[in-house]
Structure 1
Amino acid sequence: MQPTANFTAANLTRSLLRRSRQGALATLMAGSGDPYCSLVNVASHYDGSPILLISRLAVHTKNLLADPRVSLMLDERAAGDPLEGSRIMVAGTAEEADGELKAVLRRRYLNVHPSAEGFADFNDFSFFRIRLSGVHLVAGFGRIVDLKPEKVLTSLDGAEALVAAEQNAIEHMNRDHREALNLYATRLLGAAAADWRCTGCDPDGLDMSADRHDALRLDFPRRVATPDELRVILKDLAEKARAAT
């Protein structure tokens, strides 16, 4: 894989944070400090930081409750040689959520993993958010970059109105604008036709997924901070998609 002129490490990292649905979680064994790795499902907070829903019965949960330092590897799961796909290693601390933050993490996680609703409220399950301390990107030959969190996370400053309206926007898009979502996926992002649905939105873009298909990230051409700005930009993107061949 050769570097290309339009390669931007921060943009690729942000895309992987938003599109990834599974990852390899590394924790430190309680007591011994030995490394331990496990497969987990992930979602993302408004700012892009990873969200976990894990059981206290699991070894990795016992580990991070004793020492919250973790790393999480997310990759593109490329066809063929998996080492040719881009991947990131996120380092940080796992913080258990409660109160209002727990409600936010629960909603965003279940939008991405609706099948988890059946056990999300079990007493032994908890939502965690990984607070990033650094990101290591490997994207092929000549594309190995270390990034600070502020370079890859989405700023939420001034976007409180959009954040508050997110769930209504998701439900509106999924109820009334499935055609537009499919156009975004097929004509703007080059994906196969499917029953694409919206799973999240934030100031920088829209997240979508479909059964048996990879998740997609539609980056906005400009930052949005209010529901009205979101409505305008989604309308503009739908018109652009309809005009595309």
Structure 2
Amino acid sequence: MKEQPSPIRETDDEARRLARVLLRSARHAALAVLDPETGFPLASRVLVATDIDGTPIILVSKLSAHTRALARDARASLLTGEPGKGDPLAYPRLTTQCLAEPVERGHAFYERIRTRFLARHTKAKLYIDFPDFLFFRLKPELASLNGGFGRAYQLGGNDLVIQSAANEEIAAGAAEAVRDLVERHPDVAETLARRLNAPKSASWRICGIDSSGFDLISGDFLLRYEFETLAEEADHICSNISKIAYSIP
């Protein structure tokens, strides 16, 4: 019997870039965990942001079933990627297998994660400091990318995480660098939105930067832009943003 060809393509830089954008541009996702009582998969919808290294972060209530499940078994799966008009299966999506790491108050990363989450989800300010809420970092281990019909790829966790020694330094100076950029160029976010063909919406703003790119947000729209090469410092990121916004096409 003739052996069937593998449906999995060789993972290339284009696939890695698409996977990173699908993960880092998600405002929400489907989270699947293992029910500790029955062992059955348990899926729910969660809000998503990213840490400075691109690791997904979620904010959940300790009272929820999926939080109790993660406390017993750290394995989880995150489905990201938005469908559009027509067949939903024609649009790219990414399933990321993760290990969940709790980040509660007092953790070394807590304030950074809280700030980055609120920058993307401002309405979460209503409940983010409730004592029964906590963050999880979902450390990517493996991922399955479906880029559309006939475009399937397997990726490792390192394909999705930003490997840069400058992550911590950039995190420390990110807010100030963006604030200075906006003071110099008050129209920078709107200009970026036009240059990048973002959906028409109310005012856009920069809601996050990292050494690999930046995020723009306006209402329900989130746009992720990935640099060609990693930036080495926050000022370098803002310089890249200015070039994208104001350089001659």
TM-score (norm 2): 0.88
Secondary structure at the aligned position of 1:150 is classed as: helix
Change (3 A) 1:176 1:55: farther
1:74-113 superposed matches below 5 A: 74-98=80-104, 99-113=107-121
Provide the C-alpha distance between the structure 2 equivalents of 1:65 and 1:21, rounded to a whole number of angstroms: 23
Measure how far apart 1:39 and its partner are: 0.8
Provide the rounded CA distance (Å) in 2 between the counterparts of 1:114 and 1:175: 21
Query: 1:233 maps to which residue?
Result: 240
Q: Does 1:128 align with 2:136?
A: yes
Could you tell me which runs of 5 or more consecutive residues in structure 1 were left unpaired when the two chains were aligned. none
Counterpart pick for 2:17 among 11, 21, 44: 11
- Whole-Å Cα distance in 2 between the matches of residues 119 and 174 of structure 1? 28
Deviation, structure 1 residue 234: 2.3
Q: Which structure 2 segments of 5+ residues have no match?
A: 1-8
In 2, Cα distance between equivalents of 1:217 and 1:197: 12
CA distance in 2, matches of 1:186, 1:208: 11
**Which residue of structure 2 aligns with residue 200 of structure 1?**
208
Moved more, 189-198 or 70-79: 189-198
- Code of the residue aligned with 1:63 in structure 2: it is A
Q: CA deviation at 1:193?
A: 5.3
Map Cα deviations across residues 9-44 of structure 1 (whole Å, 9 max, x no partner).
Answer: 100011011110111110111122111110111111
The whole-number CA distance in structure 2 between the counterparts of 1:141 and 1:7 is 19
For residues 49 and 15 of structure 1, the distance between their equivalents in structure 2, rounded to whole angstroms, comes to: 12
Aligned residues: 237
Structure 2: how far apart are the matches of 1:237 and 1:103? Answer: 30
1:237 counterpart letter in structure 2: I
Query: Structure 1: which 4+ aligned runs deviate by more than 4 Å?
Result: 173-176
Q: Counterpart of 1:89 in structure 2: which amino acid?
A: T
Find 1:140's aligned residue among 137, 140, 148.
148
Aligned partner of 1:63 in structure 2 is 69
For residue 158 of structure 1, report the CA deviation from its aligned partner: 3.2
> Can you list the C-alpha shifts for 1:64-83, whole angstroms capped at 9, x where unaligned?
11111100100123222211
SS of corresponding position for 2:229: coil
Deviation (angstroms), 1:84: 1.2
Partner of 1:117: 125
Q: Any idea what the Cα deviations from partners look like across 1:180-231, whole Å, max 9, x if unmatched? A: 111111123444253111110011111011014x210122243211133223
- Percent identity, aligned pairs only? 32
Residues 75-94 of structure 1 show CA distances to partners (whole Å, capped at 9, x for unaligned) of 12322221111100010111
Residue aligning to 1:217: 224
How big is the shift at 1:7?
8.0
Question: 2 CA distance for matches of 1:7 and 1:161?
Answer: 26
**Greater helix share, structure number:** 1
Secondary structure of 1:185's counterpart equals helix
State the one-letter code of the partner of 1:179: D
Contact 2:80/2:94 (8 A) holds in 1: yes
Aligned residue in 1 for 2:166:
158
1:8, 1:221 → 2: CA distance? 11
The equivalent residue for 2:3 is none
Residue identity in the other structure for 2:203 = D
